[in-house]
Amino acid sequence: MHTSPQISVIIPVYNTAPYLHESIGSIMNQTFRDLEIIVVND
């Protein structure tokens, strides 16, 4: 059975593409794993 992630991290990226790799890397380096990352080009 698939369950939804406990945490959703939303990253707005309007004109911030140079920081996207660093932002996602920072989130992925956390010890908590039950999450989803949503990137919004707004």
Tell how strand 35-40 and strand 7-12 pair up.
parallel
Q: What is the pLDDT of residue 4?
A: 81
**CA nearest 23: which of 34, 37, 35, 33?**
37
Please tell me what DSSP assigns to residue 14: T
Q: How many domains does the chain have?
A: 1
17: in domain: yes
**C-beta of residue 5 within 8 angstroms of C-beta of residue 35:** yes
9-22 residue pLDDT tens: 999 999 888 889 99
Residue 34 within any structural domain of the chain: yes
Say whether 32 sits in a helix, a strand or coil. coil
Mean of all residue pLDDT scores within the chain: 90
Asked whether residue 1 is domain-assigned, the answer is no
- pTM score, whole prediction: 0.75
Parent domain of 12: 7-40
